[in-house]
Amino acid sequence: MIAADTLTWHACHELRLGWRDWLSLMTAGGRTRARNAAIALIVFAVFMHLFAYWLVAGYANADLSSGPETMIAITGTLLLSWSLLLSQAMESVTRAFYARADLDLILTSPSSARKVFAVRMGRIAAGTVAMSMLLAASFIDVLALRGGLRWLATFGVVAAMGAIATAAALALTIALFRLVGAKRTRLIAQIAAAIIGAAFVIGLQVLAIFSGGTLSRVAALRSSWMIEHTPNASSLVWLPARAALGDWTALAVVVLTGAVLLAAAIVIFSARFGDHALTAAGVSAGVVRQRRVSLAFRRRSPQRVLRQKEWTLLTRDPWLVSQTLMQILYLLPPAVLLWVTFRDGSDAFVVLIPVVVMAAGQLAGGLAWLSISGEDAPDLVATAPVPSGRILAAKIEAVIGMIALIFAPMMAALALDSVYGALVLAAGVLTAAGAATSIQISFRVQARRSQFRRRQTSSRVATFAEAFSSIAWAATAALAAAGSIFALAPAAVAIFILIGVRAIRPTQA
C-alpha cells in the first residue's frame, strides 16, 4: 500500500490517468475495439520492423571506427528525431497548461501543488520518452539483430533525447508565457511546435534541393560540403552518435545530461506551473470581440452560409490552424524545388507533383473531418429546412474550395513552366482531395471540433484508406506527368480503395 500524498502516490495516479488516456486514444473509447487495437499495433510493429530492415539493415556493421559520413548520418537522424520529440513535448506542455481539468481540485487541496506539478511534468517526459522508444524500437531491434547487442545502447540515447526535449519544451513554453503572455502563448507555442517538427526535415530537403536538385534528405547529409564542414572526431557534437554506436562512456554522459536537464527543469518550473496554468485557464474563458466592416445581415443561400461558416470557424481556431499548418509546411520544399526547376529549366516538376498531391489528400482528409464529423451544432444543422444532401454538398464544397485556394498558387507557378504539368497537378490535387473527403463521408461520426487530435483513432480503416488513397493518386499523378500509360494502374488501385471503403463503411444512423 502506497502512502497517500507522496511522490510515488501521485506518480501512480498520473500513470493510471496516462494509461487510460492512451488506451482510450487507441480504442476510441470502445471496449470491443481493444482487441482490434492490439492487432493493429502488432501489424504496425511488424510493418515498422520490415520498413526498418529495408532502411537501416545495411548500416548495422557501422562502429566507432567508421568515418565522418556515418557520424553525420547518425547525428542527423538523431537531430531529426529530437526536433520531432521537441515538437511533441511542446504540444503536451501547452495542452497541460491550457486544460483546466483537475486544476481547481489540485490547487484547493492541502497537497503541495509543486509536488503534483512536478509529477505531471514527469508524466509529460515519460510520454515523450515512451513515444520516442516506440518509434525507434524497430530500428534499434534491426540494428541489434544484424550488428550486435551494442546497438541496444541507442535506447539510452533515445530516452535521454526525450528527457532533453521535455526540458527544452518546458523552458521554451514558459519563456513564451513570460514573454508574450498567456493570451498569445497557446497560438505561438502550437505554431512553433508545428514549425519545429517540420523545420529540420524541411531544412534538409531545401539543402538537398540546392545541392543535388532532389528532395532526398540523405543527399544533403552525404554532400561533400557537409563532410568538409564537420567538426573533428573528438568533438562533443558526436557524443550522442558515439553513444549509439556502443561507446559506454559517451552513453553515460548523454543519459546523465538528459536526467540532469530534466530534473533541473522540473525543479525550476514546477513552482510556477500552477500559477501559469491558472492564468492560462482564465484566458481560455476570456472574451474575444469580433469586429466586422458591416453589421448588416447578408443575403446568402443556405449552402453559401454553410460554406462560409466552415471557413470562418477554421480561420478562427489557432489550434486547428497550427495542425493544418504542419501539413502545409511540408509544401515548402516542393515550392523551393519548383523555384529551382523553373530557374534551371529542367523537368524536375515530375518529382514535385506526387508530393503536392499527397499533401493535398492528407490536408483534405483533415479538413473533411472537421467539416463533416466535427460539427459543433449538429442538431441545429439537422433541424434546418435544408435537404441533407445539400448540407453535405456545401460541406464538401467548403473542403474542396479551401484545398483549391491553398494549392492554386503552386499550380499557377507550375503553369508558367509546363501547362500540362499544371493540369496534371490540378487534377491530382482535386482527385486526391475528393477521394479523402469521400472516405471521411463514409466514416463520419458525430464529434466536436476540439476532438480533432483524436480523429485518426476514431477509425483506423479511414486513416489507412485515406493515406493509401493519397499515395495511389500521387503515384497516378507522377506517372501521368511523365506521360506514362502506367498511370492507370495506381488510379485503378485508388478507385479500388474507394470501392472497398464504400463496401465496409459503417451504417449511418
Partner 1 sequence: MAVVMITERPISLATRALSKRFDRPAVDDLDLTIYGGEFYCLLGPNGAGKTTTLRMVAGLLRPDAGTITIDGIDALADPVEAKQITAWLSDEPMIYDKLTPYEYLEFVAGLWRIDPRVAEMRAKELIAWLGLEAQAHDRCEGFSKGTRQKVALAGALVHDPKLIILDEPLTGLDAGSARQVKNVLRERVSAGGTVIMTTHILEVAERMADRIGVIANGRLIAEGTLDELRVKTGAAGTSLEDTFLALVANEAAAA
Task: Give min distance, CB of 383 to partner 1, in A.
Answer: 4
d(CA 290, CA 285): 15
Residue 6: helix, strand or coil by DSSP?
coil
Task: Give min distance, CB of 293 to partner 1, in A.
Answer: 13
Query: Are the beta carbons of 121 and 273 closer than 8 angstroms?
Result: yes
Q: Which of 474, 485, 434 is nearest to 353 (CA)?
A: 474
Task: Give min distance, CB of 96 to partner 1, in A.
Answer: 20
Q: Which is nearer to partner 1, 16 or 304 (CB)?
A: 304
Which of 449-453's residues contact partners 24+ apart within 8 Å by CB, and which partners? 449/313, 449/317, 449/320, 449/370, 449/374, 449/375, 449/376, 451/374, 452/319, 452/320, 452/323, 452/366, 452/369, 452/370, 452/374, 453/323
d(CA 79, CA 81): 5
Cell readout for 237 is 557534437
Q: Which is nearer to partner 1, 297 or 343 (CB)?
A: 297
d(CA 83, CA 199): 8
Taking residue 58's Cβ as centre, other Cβ atoms within 10 Å add up to 10
Q: Which is nearer to partner 1, 298 or 343 (CB)?
A: 298
CA 419, 423, 428: angle at the middle one, nearest 5?
145
Q: Which is nearer to partner 1, 378 or 483 (CB)?
A: 378
Q: Which is nearer to partner 1, 13 or 95 (CB)?
A: 95
Identify the helix (H) or strand (E) that includes residue 489.
helix 488-504
Residues near partner 1, by CB under 8 A: 284-292, 295-302, 304-306, 309, 312-313, 316-317, 376-387
Query: Are the beta carbons of 351 and 233 closer than 8 angstroms?
Result: no
Task: Give min distance, CB of 314 to partner 1, in A.
Answer: 9
d(CA 184, CA 87): 18
Task: Give min distance, CB of 102 to partner 1, in A.
Answer: 20
Q: What is the DSSP letter of 373?
A: I
Q: Which is nearer to partner 1, 149 or 285 (CB)?
A: 285
Q: Which of 13, 253, 258, 239 is nearest to 115 (CA)?
A: 13
Q: Which is nearer to partner 1, 235 or 284 (CB)?
A: 284
Q: Which is nearer to partner 1, 348 or 384 (CB)?
A: 384
Q: Which is nearer to partner 1, 171 or 386 (CB)?
A: 386
Task: Give min distance, CB of 390 to partner 1, in A.
Answer: 9
d(CA 50, CA 464): 18
* The residue to which cell 504539368 is assigned: 421
Q: Where are the alpha helices (DSSP H) in 30-152?
A: 33-56, 68-98, 103-108, 113-147
Q: Which is nearer to partner 1, 16 or 448 (CB)?
A: 448
Q: Which is nearer to partner 1, 319 or 473 (CB)?
A: 319
Task: Give min distance, CB of 429 to partner 1, in A.
Answer: 27
Task: Give min distance, CB of 159 to partner 1, in A.
Answer: 39
Phi, then psi, of 79 in degrees rounded to 5:
-65, -40
Task: Give min distance, CB of 399 to partner 1, in A.
Answer: 18
Taking residue 94's Cβ as centre, other Cβ atoms within 10 Å add up to 25
Q: Which is nearer to partner 1, 214 or 308 (CB)?
A: 308
Task: Give min distance, CB of 309 to partner 1, in A.
Answer: 6
Taking residue 174's Cβ as centre, other Cβ atoms within 10 Å add up to 19
Q: Which is nearer to partner 1, 283 or 482 (CB)?
A: 283
Task: Give min distance, CB of 449 to partner 1, in A.
Answer: 8
Q: What is the DSSP letter of 449?
A: G
Task: Give min distance, CB of 306 to partner 1, in A.
Answer: 7
Query: Are the beta carbons of 93 and 170 closer than 8 angstroms?
Result: yes
Query: Are the beta carbons of 158 and 248 closer than 8 angstroms?
Result: no
Task: Give min distance, CB of 291 to partner 1, in A.
Answer: 7
Rg (Cα) of the chain, in Å, rounded? 25
